[in-house]
């Protein structure tokens, strides 16, 4: 069992190589061991291409008869854009399969394991299950609930402010935090911001990582009444990733047409007291195979997501700065009545980034 954990750790390293590239599929890694030696490794590189198991099998330079394959997620047993991985395992004489976690996809969900056992292959399941599940949280939520895994992001002073003066841009965190944000952008399917953030910061919302070719996520803008200037940077970016705008049903038709002429996708949803119906936005993103969304603000949008309990996790960057009374808080429009009713983060981790500190965790909402 100890060796199984060791090799599964190596399979997890392989899986992470595909982060940001495989959606709407999960990132999966595989390691093949024979006679106590690693004979091949592989990972899923992109949706529509061979899965991790097949990549590892195809890379092997020797017979795999009698070998063990370690795979972070249950091998598929159905034909989609690629043939079933279970059949490749059987055909190559692999005698033992160690699985990190069962596939929550209803098309699989235990059928791959059952098929392997029916073909006299030993299957061990649940090795480093939590770790294997952690790296595919967006896939799990999307395949089971139809909506994306949603992450709150914020750069904050020690007194909880995201700028120094309301209505004006003001950088809080340092360069190492910025670089970490771009790494997160590379991994997610979409970035979502509100119109006020566009108006104040005029961001490009692209991925820029020094020495690395990052993937631009889809840019999603909430602009209830389509009041943003057509000259905003998010509407004029040369990128493979599109820009999508969500507005209310009563937004002016001429403004919708003007955006569409610029290649921007415009989707109307119902209005809500805070702007637009965010749950409808999430459903629409899920239907478009967006599995993960990074919400970068502003404060009112963060408050609305919290009120509707739409956040799954957070990555918050604290700088050793006091911004003062004139700054805007990370969250506005959200209230709690005490510790027992407060929303909190669990499974919290901390990462030092120069003088800054990243605090990450999962949301836990009060009943």
The DSSP annotation for 244-295 comes to: EEEEETTS-HHHHHHHHHTT-EEEEE-EETTEE-HHHHHHHHHHTT--EEEE
156 beta partners: 318
Instruction: Please give the full DSSP string across 97-153, using - where no structure is assigned.
Output: EEEEE---STTTTTHHHHHHHHTT-EEE--TTHHHHHHTTHHHHHHHHHSS-EEEEE
Segments in the chain forming alpha helices (H): 2-16, 52-59, 85-91, 111-118, 129-134, 137-145, 175-187, 195-201, 253-261, 278-287, 299-307
User: Hey, is 307 helix, strand or coil?
Assistant: helix
Q: Which residues are catalytic?
A: 53
> What is the rounded CA–CA span in Å between residue 203 and residue 194?
11
């Amino acid at each position: 069992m100890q060796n199984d954990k060791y090799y599964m750790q190596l399979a997890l390293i392989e899986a992470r190589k595909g982060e940001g590239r495989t959606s709407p599929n999960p990132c999966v890694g595989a390691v093949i061991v024979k006679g106590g030696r690693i004979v091949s490794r592989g990972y899923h590189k992109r949706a529509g291409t061979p899965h991790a198991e097949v990549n590892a099998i195809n890379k092997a330079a020797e017979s795999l008869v009698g070998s063990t394959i370690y795979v972070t997620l249950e091998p598929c047993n159905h034909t989609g854009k690629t043939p079933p991985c279970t059949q490749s395992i059987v055909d190559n004489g692999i005698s033992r399969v160690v699985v990190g976690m069962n596939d929550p996809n209803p098309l699989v969900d235990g059928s791959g394991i059952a098929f392997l056992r029916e073909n006299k292959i030993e299957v061990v399941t649940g090795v480093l299950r939590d770790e294997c599940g952690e790296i595919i949280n967006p896939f799990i939520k999307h395949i089971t609930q139809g909506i994306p895994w949603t992450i709150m992001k914020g750069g904050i002073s020690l007194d909880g402010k995201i700028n120094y003066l309301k209505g004006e841009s003001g950088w809080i965190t340092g360069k190492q935090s910025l670089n970490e944000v771009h790494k997160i952008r590379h991994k997610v399917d979409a970035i979502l911001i509100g119109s006020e953030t566009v108006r104040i910061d005029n961001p490009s919302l692209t991925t820029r990582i020094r020495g690395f070719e990052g993937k631009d996520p889809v840019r999603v803008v909430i602009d209830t009444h389509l009041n943003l200037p057509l000259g905003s940077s998010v509407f004029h970016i040369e990128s493979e990733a599109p820009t999508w705008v969500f507005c209310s049903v009563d937004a002016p038709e001429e403004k919708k047409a003007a955006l569409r002429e610029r290649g921007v996708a415009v989707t109307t949803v119902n209005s809500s007291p805070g702007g637009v119906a965010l749950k409808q936005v999430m459903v629409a993103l899920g239907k478009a195979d967006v599995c993960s969304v990074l919400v970068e603000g502003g404060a009112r949008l963060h408050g609305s997501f919290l009120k509707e309990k739409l956040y799954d996790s957070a990555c918050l960057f604290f700088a050793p700065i006091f911004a003062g009374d004139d700054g805007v808080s990370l969250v506005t429009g959200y209230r709690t009545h005490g510790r027992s009713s407060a929303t909190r983060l669990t499974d919290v981790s901390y990462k030092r980034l120069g003088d800054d500190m990243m605090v990450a965790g999962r949301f836990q909402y009060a009943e």
